[in-house]
Amino acid sequence: MNGKRITLIIGGGIAAYKSCELVRLLRKAGHQVRCVLTKSGAQFVTPLSLAALSEDKVYTELFDLKDEVEMGHIQLSRQADLLAVVPATADLIGRMAAGMADDLATTLLLATDKPVLIAPAMNVRMWLHPATQRNIETLRGDGIQILEPDEGAMACGEFGPGRLPEPQSIFDAIIAMLGGSPKPLAGQHVIVTAGPTHEPIDPVRYVANRSSGKQGYAIAEALATLGARVTLVSGPVHLPTPKGVHRIDVETAVEMQAAVAGNLPADAAVMVAAVADWRFPSADQKIKKQDGAPPVLEPSENPDILAGLCRSPLRPRLVIGFAAETEQVIDYATTKRMRKGCDWIIANDVSGDVMGGDRNSVHIITDQGVESWPDTDKAEVARQIAQRIADALA
């Protein structure tokens, strides 16, 4: 997407500081940002910081005659591809809903014929107040895009919806509105392993596990959507190849290890596969049933692909392992992260119907501690992991 012009209106709220990071992200992606500070916005961020980050003049007052000569407010609102209000306070939302034009920000918003996105941020009670909700519905009816506030601990000490989403999420919403999808992983190579491995016993039999490959495939797809070059090393599964992903089919753990090694270097690796721990000497001919004497399988240990990759001179910058556990999920996974030497372990409890199912509830274990995500579908887990990876590689 070519550089677009964004008029960013910054309302007065403690979250206004996040608009600085948003300006930086937009500029880094090659877009032009023109900042308009409301009077109360200027109490939280200075025009100087915004001017430095946007590399442009910052507009503050409606009746600045010099600005009216150089660029009238109508022109200011028209010479943009999109207007974004970040943060949008209850007061600003109320004035927009009432169609007021009593300062530069509201005048631009009334005069514009361009798409408008607002990112509300305020105290939880103010956000949930019927007046605010009524105003939000009015704005929605006017065709304004509302980026719902996040839920969490607030600067005022309360908890609930009302927090300004992180700058990256606001950036993504702006880019999506402008008709592009953000590609933060463009130019990055990520290897993903997925599915089970099959360890043959003879030409017609093998030892396998219940992995469906769904979570790994969803991660490969989400990474490709963010612009990554994805090599998906897949055990035997019944799934279509995700769009834009290079898939290499393997059967055994030894083959999977060779395929991973053969596709390095990579910027990140996500090892989702449920690799068999053991392999067996495979008979050349079908083992025949013998009276009363079942065959003795003599297992030997498979290579640990994840641990090997972490010790490799070609170790990717970010290596992520998975841990499927049926008990003491977090404890086992925390130990596993240390033992394998990977950066993150994504742990899930597979005692239910996670394997083969469409939902997953995961815990992310990093050197910062444990973060538990609520139960959600595997595609959403994948999108969030992909976004995390993009943030970590940025």
Q: Looking at the DSSP assignment, which residues form a beta bridge with residue 34? A: 7
- Name residues contacting ligand C5P, limited to 45-64 (CB under 6 A): none
Q: Under rule CB under 6 A, how many of the chain's residues touch ligand C5P?
A: 13
Q: By the 8 A CB rule, do 200 and 206 touch?
A: yes
Site string for ligand C5P, 237-256 (x = CB under 6 A): ----------------x---
267 binds ligand C5P (CB under 6 A): no
Instruction: Output the smallest distance, CB 393 to ligand C5P, in A.
Output: 19
- In the complex with ligand C5P, the residue whose CB is nearer, 35 or 350, is 350
Q: By the 8 A CB rule, do 34 and 59 touch?
A: yes
The CA distances from residue 324 to 6, 99, 296, 328, 373, in Å, are: 45, 55, 28, 11, 15
Cβ-based burial of 284 (10 A; exposed 0-12, middle 13-18, buried ≥19): exposed
273 binds ligand C5P (CB under 6 A): yes
* Candidate residues 76, 164, 219, 305; the one interacting with ligand C5P per rule CB under 6 A: 305
Instruction: Output the smallest distance, CB 254 to ligand C5P, in A.
Output: 10
* Candidate residues 44, 59, 322, 344; the one interacting with ligand C5P per rule CB under 6 A: 322
Q: What angle do CA 327, 333, 337 make, to 5 degrees?
A: 165
Nearest by Cα to 300 from 321, 283, 318, 277: 277
382 binds ligand C5P (CB under 6 A): no
Site string for ligand C5P, 327-366 (x = CB under 6 A): ---------x------------------------------
In 3-state terms, what secondary structure has residue 177? helix
Instruction: Output the smallest distance, CB 315 to ligand C5P, in A.
Output: 13
- In the complex with ligand C5P, the residue whose CB is nearer, 67 or 343, is 343
In 3-state terms, what secondary structure has residue 166? coil
DSSP-derived secondary structure letter, 365: E
The CA distances from residue 2 to 81, 135, 180, in Å, are: 12, 34, 10
- In the complex with ligand C5P, the residue whose CB is nearer, 11 or 321, is 321
386 binds ligand C5P (CB under 6 A): no
Tokens representing residue 183 in the block: 């590609």
Stretch that binds ligand C5P, among 18-26, 37-45, 303-311, 370-378 (CB under 6 A): 303-311
- Please list, in sequence order, all residues whose beta carbon lies within 8 angstroms of the beta carbon of residue 118, skipping any fewer than 6 positions away: 84, 85, 86, 88, 93, 96, 139, 144, 145, 146, 147
- Name residues contacting ligand C5P, limited to 177-236 (CB under 6 A): 193
271 binds ligand C5P (CB under 6 A): yes
321 binds ligand C5P (CB under 6 A): yes
Catalytic annotation, pick one of 20, 35, 156, 310: 156
Stretch that binds ligand C5P, among 73-81, 106-114, 316-324, 355-363 (CB under 6 A): 316-324
- Which H or E element spans position 307? helix 305-311
156 is catalytic: yes
Distance, first Cα to last Cα, the chain: 19
- In the complex with ligand C5P, the residue whose CB is nearer, 171 or 344, is 344
Cβ-based burial of 208 (10 A; exposed 0-12, middle 13-18, buried ≥19): middle
- In the complex with ligand C5P, the residue whose CB is nearer, 175 or 346, is 346
Interface ranges with ligand C5P (CB under 6 A): 193, 253, 271, 273, 275, 302, 304-306, 321-323, 336
